[in-house]
Amino acid sequence: MFRILFHTPEIPGNTGNAIRLAAITGAELHLVEPLGFDFSDAKLRRAGLDYHDLAVVTVHKDIEAAWAALKPERVFAYTSDGETSYTDISYREGDVLMFGPESVGLPAWLKQDPHVTARVRLPMKPSLRSLNLANAASIAVFEAWRQNGFAGAKV
């Protein structure tokens, strides 16, 4: 399935929602430290409801540890200044869909990382800064899953 990568997420509710997203879609969720919360945070638990035990969630000490564990073939960095539309990608199983922290998005150095296959954007009005992290991940995961026939889902 697909792999969601949150680089240094800050808001527990967004990660909780991503845990639900991972459980419901069969995606894996990978988190790169430092995290802006701990797993005992009530907002994280509330957002994830009872899906925590149903999701594959891995925490990595840094991006290099994440790359070593994921051994990614393709990484799509979602960013408001991406050159490629999320609908112009032919997603494949195992793709990594990477997102940055809520307050600032992906840092420039990570957008240029040699693991990054493409910098991807979601459409939005030009006067607005960004979409909520969990919502952006949901849009990307569901497009990738749709393109792959919603494998494993009851449709």
In the chain, what are the domain boundaries? 3-147
d(CA 144, CA 137): 11
Mean pLDDT across the stretch 25-37? 95
Higher-pLDDT residue of 51, 134: 134
Query: Does residue 118 have a pLDDT over 60?
Result: yes
pLDDT at 45: 66
Contact 18, 56 (CB under 8 A): no
pLDDT at 14: 93
Q: Check the annotation: does 130 bind a ligand.
A: yes
d(CA 16, CA 62): 20
Residue 30's H or E segment, with its range, is strand 28-32
Contacts of 103 (CB under 8 A, 6+ apart): 10
Fold held by 3-147: Alpha/beta knot (3.40.1280)
| pLDDT tens digits, one per residue of 58-81 | 999 999 999 999 999 999 999 999
- In this prediction the pTM is 0.94
pLDDT range class, residue 27, cuts 50, 70, 90: very high
Tokens of 22: 């991972």
Q: Mean pLDDT of all residues in the chain? A: 93
What φ, ψ does residue 103 adopt, rounded to 5°? -75, -30
**DSSP state string for 123-146:** ---TT-----HHHHHHHHHHHHHH
Q: Check the annotation: does 122 bind a ligand.
A: yes
Tokens of 33: 């430290």
Q: How far apart are the first and last CA of the chain?
A: 17
